[in-house]
Structure formats: structure tokens, C-alpha cells
Amino acid sequence: MIELSKTSRRKFLRNIGYISVGFPLLSSNLVVQEPEVVARVNFEGDLPGSMRNASKVNAWLHVLEDGRVMVFSGKVELGQGIRTAIRQVAAEELDLELDQVEVHLAETGVTPDEGYTAGSSSIPNSAMSVRYAAATARQKLLELASAKLNTAEEDLILYNGKVKSKKSNQALNFAEVLEGAQIDMEVTKPVPLKIKSGYRYVGKAIHRKDIEKMVRGEEVYIQDLRFPGMVHARVLRPAGYQSKLVKIDGSGLSTAISGIIKTVVNGSFVGVITEREYQAVKAEAYLRKHSEWTTSPSFPKQETLFAHLKSIAEKPQSIRNEGDITTIPNGKETFKASYAKPYLKHGSIGPACGIAMYDGEILHIWSHSQGIYPMRRAIAAMLKMELEKLHVIAVPGAGCFGHSTADDAAADAAILALSYPGKHIRVQWSRQDEHTWDPYGTAMIMELEASLDANGKIKTWKTDVWTDSHSIRPDNDPATLLDTRYLENPVQLKGRGYLGGGHRNADPYYNIPNMQVNAHFFNGPLRVSSLRSLGSYTTIFSIESFMDELAEKAGKDPLEFRLAHLEDARAIAVITKIQEMCSGEKLEEGEGIGYAFSRYKNTTAYATAAAKVSIDRASGTIKLLKMWAAVDVGEIINLDGIINQIEGGMLQAASWTLKEEVTFEDNKITSSDWRKYPVFRFSDIPEVEVAMIDRPNEAAEGGGEVSMPPTGAAIANAVYKASGKRVYNLPITAEKILG
């Protein structure tokens, strides 16, 4: 059977034409290399979830007219380098040069719907889907070339974009093999994959191509897009979460500020469109001064936040209950500790931006959202438009670290575009709005209780975790978008999103015979959604702090105590690796090293972190001197990319641990800029050393979040070693050490 569809190269090229973040024309600087035919081995495992709705080869890749390959991924580039990783796996399976692969990231109607770029799932889902599609395509290309060249498959070599006969000079590129068609066949098992020992790119430290564009100041980000006739806009956010617009007087606006095109008022949504960007900044300030809002109710007092959160929590839900936690050994006491973490910001360096243009039929939206298909559903529902009338294109923004404000900015632009058709409208958020309307990572509380047996091993363990939702991402519920709650007919959130993230890693990965985990969900006072690593940062901060406390009670070395509760060889390996890395470290007076381990989600990548701190006894000042990590993400796709992610994750988590806390007073978020919400700066940066344990035969796990959970606890444990003071409430500050 011929499984080829005569497609529509023209249609494809037209689709490409939509994208204004242009494709660079690739210079083919192909090195003449001896073709090396590497053996294949059949893959019989599970296909990734992303292939469920995109099961055919041509959903993932097309052959271009010049014989190169265009790969499609529904994931977006967040600075994690996914484009490069996907290019590597495609080039690997198709035996191409890296330059022969172009990667088209998320765009509705063009790429597969892969939901959100989140949860460290881009490598296991998107990159693996591309791997299987590319391997299937290679097999098909060989088959078709064999017929065309009238040569048996075993007498063909597929290498660097050509299928050549070993016996003659005949050769075809991929486009010539397909004659303008695409490979419209299902990816089915077994998939013949290249054997890993024959890899040219995967596992290597391949440089990203976009960094050169960045250093040259080329068009990279949504903020850089410019369209003919594009106009600018800002949205005047309400005075508080529950404020309603009472009145607005824009009568003097055009006299006071030049370039005013239109003020759009819809319920409590106020947007202003101007010719130039800075005019919009001034117009927003003017409208703020000339508007009146109802008063939003006060937040609880910051000092009593955690008591408040406990008081509003629902009845606990049992998450895990094994053995009997009341079987406390005779005469043994139980140990208890309570930990807390404040609300944290995403803190993207680039405030949100959205661009939209309504052409009278289709609403085109450019966004740095993490999930353009789900966001399309939410915006369509907000605007009561048919899904097909929305066309969304993902464009990189600044690193966002979870569900931040990108979708809200896209919604702003969409509303304004409908009221001012025919023009591209660019909405830029201010730093203050980015800081005060961000859906934060929720505040959390962990209460732990455990007992030890006669051998100093953990006999019983109980976790109680208090948490809000960890994902209220845009999807079918339009009120996930801020604007929906302020339009003329406001709609409030129907559900609470993904609560499960709150007890992620709340059950220790250790062998403990009697274990109980309870989750107490609350609907807290601040807007929340997913922040990198979700609840794991807090659950592991607490568990791994407590493990050090228990080790001390048991009179054991902290790492040996952990090893005594582990059987998983990969977990043991990251711990023994960190022991080796830190073994030569000398400690001065007032210095200490702390450790922490976790397996992310208890099912994916492994990491042990270590931190060395020094503490000034008089002032309590903490200096983070050095951090180490030993990490196992299974098969490594890009060695340089993964190390970059691990280092960045550790430093960001260290900033959370030592600096960060969203503050509020009365009905205002007061941490409204970088002075009032300090984060790590260069003077805070320690030395960092990362060791990767490569396991080419294990599943490839994502690495964006794995180093964050153990970092907080490693620092807390180091602070305890250095000062004798255990800090239970984040962030760890000088005042708490002295207090």
C-alpha cells in the first residue's frame, strides 16, 4: 500500500508564510564525511502521550522542497533549548547533518497539540515523538528509494540527506524520493531506532544556534516583532483583585498625551491603544489618575498568613496510607517539625507581551504562552468565538518558569484587536503589573512526624501538607485568563485547576514501612498557578530538612542515613557521587555543608544537591560559597543544555531559599518591583559544580526542574551545620538565624 498523500506543498509553504519570526535560510556547510551505516534495533516500548492525537509521521515532520527536513513540535522555546534537542534527535534518526533539520515550534493548525510546555515533559514527550516519527520516516524513505532506484534496501545508504546506491552512482535526496508528497503513515511498533553507540549528536554538548542571534540583537522574542502599521497598547489593571471600575474620565486624554488612537472600556477592563509605545505608558498612567475603583477586600495579615491558611483549609484528603503509622516502637518518641514557604514569584526578566490582529475573519495571536492550544480554547471561550477563528503562533519570550502572565497579555491583545480590526496590536505589561498580578507559586505548610526503630531506621512517617492549587492554567475555563473576570459580564473560576502538584514528592522516596500522607487544600488569598517544580520544592525542602534532623537523632551521618533507607541503585549512585565530589572540601570556622536528595515526582530524574555556606555569627549574614549537584536524567540528549538547566535551577532555587517572599499589606501586593522583591544578583552567586550520570539505556527525562527541590534543603542543612540554627520558615534570612 502506498501511504503517501500528495500534499499540498503549496499549502505548507503558505502556512510557513504566516510566521514572521522568519526561518533563516540555512547555509549548507556540509562537511564531506564518510557515510557510516549504523545498525538499528527495534523499539517495542510505549509511545509517548503526545503521539495519541498525532500518530502519523507527517504530523511530526515534512520533507522540504530542497530535501531538508522540517520537524514540528507542539512545545515552545523557553530558554531551555528544546529546539536544539529536537533537532539532534531528528538528525540522528534520519542520519542528517544538524543544519539539514529545521524545527517549527508550536503554532495552531500546523504543529501537534502537545498541551503545555511544562513539567519537564518536552524531552520525554516531544523529542521522543520526533525520534519515533523520524525513525519511521527513514524506514519508509529507504523502502521508496529501493523501488525507485530498483535496488535492494540493503544495497542503499541513507546519509546526510541522500539515499545512495552502494553499487552505482545513483542518489536521490529526500524530496526526490517523495516527489512532493509527505509521509502520511502511522508510527507503529516496532520502531527501528538507531543503536545508541552509533550516535553522532545525541548525548553530546551541541551548541544552540539561537545564542548567536541573541548576541547580535537579531529578532528573537515576541517583544521584537514588528508588523507594518502595528500599534501599541497598555491595559489598566484594576486597583485590586476584586475592584470594579466605578468611573473613568478619558475626556482630556487626547489633549494631555499625543498619539491616542482608542480607549477600550468593557466592564472593568480598560485598554488604551496608541501610535507609539511610550504614549501608551503615559496614557495608562493618565487613566489610572482619572479613574475610580471599588475597594478590594484586605488580604490577611502577612504575619499570621500561615495560621490563616490552616484555618481556611478543607478537610484533609488521604494521599497515601501504607502500614500503620501508630505502630511506634515501645518507649520511642515521635519527632515532629513544621515547615513553611511563602508565596513566590515567577520573576521573569521580560514582562509579558501579546500581539493580536483581527483580519475580519481570523483573530491571529502571537504569544509566549507555554500552551498555545489550551490558551486558544480559553481565549475563544472568553470571546465566545469559534475555535477555528483563532490562529495562535508561539514566539519565545523571556524565561517564564511556569504559568506566568503571557496568556493574560495575549488575552489583552485579543480583546483590543477585536475592537480595532485590521491592525497588529502590541500589548506590553509593566514591571509593576508583572510583579503584582502574577499567578504566584502558592504558600505552603508541611508538618512532619516520624519515629525511629531500635536500629535508628525510620519506622513511621506522617506528612500533612497544606497547599493551594499548583496549576490554574488557561484551558477550557475562560476565567483562567485574568480579563474574563473583569469584562462586562464577568465570569469567575469554575474549578481549582490541578491540586495534585501540591503533594508532589510529599511522600518520601525512602523505604519506610508505615507511611501516611494527607493533603489539606485551601483556596488562598493570592492568585496562584504553576511555578517551576510545583509543590516539590517545598515538600523536599521539608522532608530533606527533617531527614537531617532524624539522622542526628539516630546518631548517623546524614548521607549514610539516607542510603540506609534506599534500594534504588540510581538513587544510591547520585548520593555516592556527591559524597565523592565534596569529600576533599575543607571547612573553616562558621562554615557548613548540607545535602539533600530527591527523585523528581518520585518517578523521573534523580538529583542530590550539596551546598556550602558561611555564616557570620554576629550579623547572621549567610554567604553561599559553593553548590554541587549529582544528577541522573536517564539518557542525556544535550549535555551542555542539561548542565545549563541544572545549574540555573539550583541558582534560582537558592534565590528562592535565601531571598524571596511575596509581601502584601491591606489590599495591596507590596513587592511590586525588584527592590521590594529582591532576587539573586551577581554578588550572591556561588561556585557551582554539576556531575551528570549518563544512562543511555534509560528513558530520557526532562531536567528543567530536577535540581530545584533538593537545593532548598541542602542550603537549610548547611545553615544548620554552620550555625546550629535550623530555619523552618523560608526564606532563610539573617534575622531568622539570629532569632
**What residues make contact with other proteins under the rule CB under 8 A?**
78-81, 207-208, 210-212, 214-221, 223-224, 226, 232, 258, 276-278, 281, 347-351, 396-399, 401, 428, 430-431, 640, 644-645, 647-652, 655, 673-675, 679-683, 685, 687-688
Q: For other proteins, which is the closer residue by CB, 240 or 649?
A: 649
In angstroms, how far is the first alpha carbon of the chain from the final one?
77
Q: For other proteins, which is the closer residue by CB, 218 or 580?
A: 218
The region, left, alpha or beta by phi > 0 then psi within -120 to 50, assigned to residue 268 is alpha
Q: For other proteins, which is the closer residue by CB, 358 or 401?
A: 401
Q: For other proteins, which is the closer residue by CB, 564 or 691?
A: 691
Burial of 82 (0-12, 13-18, 19+ CB in 10 A): buried
Question: Is the preceding omega at residue 190 within 30 degrees of 0, hence cis?
Answer: yes
Q: How far apart are CB 505 and other proteins at their closest, in Å?
A: 22
Q: How far apart are CB 150 and other proteins at their closest, in Å?
A: 47
Provide the grid cell at 497. Answer: 485547576
Q: How far apart are CB 209 and other proteins at their closest, in Å?
A: 10
Burial of 127 (0-12, 13-18, 19+ CB in 10 A): buried
Q: How far apart are CB 244 and other proteins at their closest, in Å?
A: 27
Q: How far apart are CB 714 and other proteins at their closest, in Å?
A: 16
Burial of 599 (0-12, 13-18, 19+ CB in 10 A): buried
Provide the grid cell at 280. Answer: 501608551
Provide the grid cell at 151. Answer: 535496488
Buried b (16+ CB within 10 A) or exposed e, 517-544: bbbbbbebbbbbbbbbbbbbbbbbbbbb
Q: For other proteins, which is the closer residue by CB, 26 or 491?
A: 26
How far CA 676 is from CA of 354, 362, 464, 529, in Å, comes to 26, 42, 32, 21
Q: Are 194 and 92 in contact (CB under 8 A)?
A: yes
What DSSP letter does each residue of 209-264 carry, written as one string? SHHHHHHHT-S-SGGG---TT-EEEEEE--SSTT--EEEE--TTHHHHSTTEEEEE
Cell 529536537 -> residue: 86
Number of H helices, E strands in the chain: 18, 30
Q: For other proteins, which is the closer residue by CB, 219 or 557?
A: 219
Q: How far apart are CB 570 and other proteins at their closest, in Å?
A: 26
Q: For other proteins, which is the closer residue by CB, 647 or 698?
A: 647
Q: Are 64 and 102 in contact (CB under 8 A)?
A: yes
Q: For other proteins, which is the closer residue by CB, 67 or 79?
A: 79
Q: For other proteins, which is the closer residue by CB, 265 or 281?
A: 281
3-state secondary structure of 658: helix
The angle at the Cα of 537, spanning 534 to 543, to the nearest 5 degrees, equals 130
Q: How far apart are CB 217 and other proteins at their closest, in Å?
A: 3
Q: How far apart are CB 269 and other proteins at their closest, in Å?
A: 23
Q: For other proteins, which is the closer residue by CB, 56 or 208?
A: 208
Q: For other proteins, which is the closer residue by CB, 78 or 380?
A: 78
Q: For other proteins, which is the closer residue by CB, 497 or 704?
A: 704
Q: How far apart are CB 281 and other proteins at their closest, in Å?
A: 8
Provide the grid cell at 586. Answer: 575543607
- Per DSSP, which regions of 95-190 are E strands? 101-104, 156-159, 162-165, 171-173, 182-183
Q: How far apart are CB 431 and other proteins at their closest, in Å?
A: 4
Q: For other proteins, which is the closer residue by CB, 88 or 173?
A: 88
Q: Are 726 and 716 in contact (CB under 8 A)?
A: yes
Q: How far apart are CB 398 and other proteins at their closest, in Å?
A: 4
Q: How far apart are CB 417 and other proteins at their closest, in Å?
A: 19
DSSP element (H, E) containing 62: strand 61-63
R_g over Cα of the chain: 27
Q: How far apart are CB 44 and other proteins at their closest, in Å?
A: 36
Q: For other proteins, which is the closer residue by CB, 437 or 509?
A: 437
Parallel/antiparallel/unpaired status of strands 334-341 and 514-521: unpaired
Residues 6+ apart with CB under 8 A from 380: 386, 387, 389, 390
Q: Are 363 and 405 in contact (CB under 8 A)?
A: no
The angle at the Cα of 632, spanning 626 to 635, to the nearest 5 degrees, equals 135
How far CA 725 is from CA of 43, 702, 711, in Å, comes to 52, 35, 18
Q: How far apart are CB 352 and other proteins at their closest, in Å?
A: 11
